[in-house]
Amino acid sequence: MLKDGGTGRRSDDAAKSEERRRRSLGIYYTPPTAAQILARWAIRKRSDTVLEPSFGGCALLEAAVDRLRELGSKEPSTQLCGYDVDIGAFGYLYRLLGRNLERDGRFLRSDFLLTDPRSAASVSTVIANPPFVSWHRMNVGQRDIVRRWRHRYGPTFPMTASLWAYFIVHSTQFLAPRGRLAFVLPASSLTADYGRAVLDVLARRFRRVHLFRLNEQLFIQAGAQERTVLVLAESRRAAEGTPGPLYDRTVASLLELEEIIASSGSAESEPNCVNDSAAASTLNCLLQKGNLCELGSIARISIGEVVGDTRFFVKTTSEWESIGIDSQGFPPLLTGVKQVAGLRVGAADVRSRYSAVPRLLVASTSRAASKVDKYLRTYPNAARLTNVTFAKRSPWHAVSYDTTAKAFMGSISHDGPRILLNVSKVSCANGLYKLRAMAGTQWRPALALAAMSTITRLSAELRARALGSGGLKLEPSDVRALAIPQSFLEMPKPETTALIVKIDQLLRAGEKDAAVRLVDLRLLISTGLIKPTELRELKGYVDELRHVRVRRSA
């Protein structure tokens, strides 16, 4: 057995130190097979020049050298350039290229984000596996660099974006027109709240962008469980333009991806692609004409009650009864849009003993206070003391319950957004959003009708992030940006009330398509906002986008 301080202990300490160093820098070296696939797709001619903005273990550079030689290049090392802050990366570089290329200025030990693209020669290819460092894990130096970069370029995505977002956007500025970009990113890049903004940048700067969600875990040997997505951006534009198409597909393995690219010569023949640029252009045109408005311009959006532990505090009437607690005095708390089938949260939805809407434990109003107190004492003390939400409340179990919201909207949707009118004066949990009238304006219930229109459903498909379950995740910023037909503002009150009743009945009867058709007829066609042929086109976009989203989750 080795004693403390022996070789084994020093070896373990060294390994842990190396692991901490790599984690702080977001280092996960690219597997050779993945590197070869990216290089083969991105490098097309023997004269291509290649930038690797964080070359690390040099797997991508090695694959680039092999690819250039395959295409006939005599001195491929002279066609490469790169950056890295890790001194260890230059050891890999020297072993690969056999010379100190840091001295000739093509490989620099510096942070890529500090490099001015105007001072560097444009390249025809960028291939990268950027640092996977979230904002919360960035050190002081990294955050300072990010702030300086943002001050200079003013991006549309928030500062809290992970480091990879800055790398991929900055990389596009080093590409010559018609150049290609290939990045390895974490799968969370497509679901993070800033992910869509980054993809929008790529869509405006490239003719086509291909997203391959990889089920195979690339970095499992490095201890990273997260899956990855390969981003292949094709044909850099000379100037930003109307967003081009995003091709999105899930593949089981690198082998499958390699076969797709080999069989087509590129990723261009993706069978499940969705060209959403025309749909986005149509919505933008209607917005510019003043026919549409954004939901955030007519309603205030806020999250529901922060419960802290929903399973403990929120249960259906029968669930409360099963543990011996009379929940008659507990208020209804909506935790999911599916709990109400219609357009209105009515008395039957929340007051019935068999209601799908659960009830929130409120100790002070319970007729069985002793049983409630006993139940509260079952909550683990250690968990209670470490719960951040509980620490903000006095007493810890006192959940807020505000009923002033005029309506609710779910944060996750599977078949388009739905606004529920709060006619029963209840509240909701933070899985939903509360809607209220903007200051100085009058609330219009017809907003719930407008949100069912094909225009708003299409807007949600274009803006929201698709989840693995096939649902759409609407962040607060997405809800505020949803396109709403302004024609609802002109509906007389009696007609609004009658149409809400009719739509509510159709939805409760399972006639969602009929409800949408009725809304479209009243708010889009009869008002002249769009023509029937245009409506059919928009419906086609909605169906196509939803089909791909659901199929991808299967």
pLDDT digit string, tens, across residues 158-216: 998 999 999 999 999 999 988 999 999 988 888 887 888 899 899 989 988 999 888 87
* Across 376-388, average pLDDT: 92
pLDDT of 283: 79
- Compute the distance between CA of residue 319 and CA of residue 325 in angstroms, rounded to an integer: 9
Residue found under tokens 């505000």 = 402
Question: If 0-12 CB within 10 Å is exposed, 13-18 middle and 19+ buried, where does residue 479 land?
Answer: buried
Question: If 0-12 CB within 10 Å is exposed, 13-18 middle and 19+ buried, where does residue 13 land?
Answer: exposed
Residue 234 CA, chain-centre distance (Å), reads 22
Please report, to the nearest 10 degrees, the dihedral formed by the alpha carbons of residues 82, 87, 92, 93 taken in order.
Answer: 40
* For residue 155, cis peptide bond before it (omega within 30 degrees of 0): no
- Compute the distance between CA of residue 357 and CA of residue 351 in angstroms, rounded to an integer: 9
Segment 209-265, tens digit of pLDDT: 999 888 877 654 444 456 789 999 998 988 887 777 788 888 888 888 888 777 654
- Compute the distance between CA of residue 149 and CA of residue 158 in angstroms, rounded to an integer: 12
Q: Is the dihedral of CA 330, 333, 335, 337 positive or negative?
A: positive
Tokens of 174: 């080093």
pLDDT of 508: 95
pTM comes to 0.57
All domains of the chain in start order, with CATH: 14-266 (3.40.50.150), 296-360+401-553 (no CATH)
Pick 528 or 328 by higher pLDDT.
528
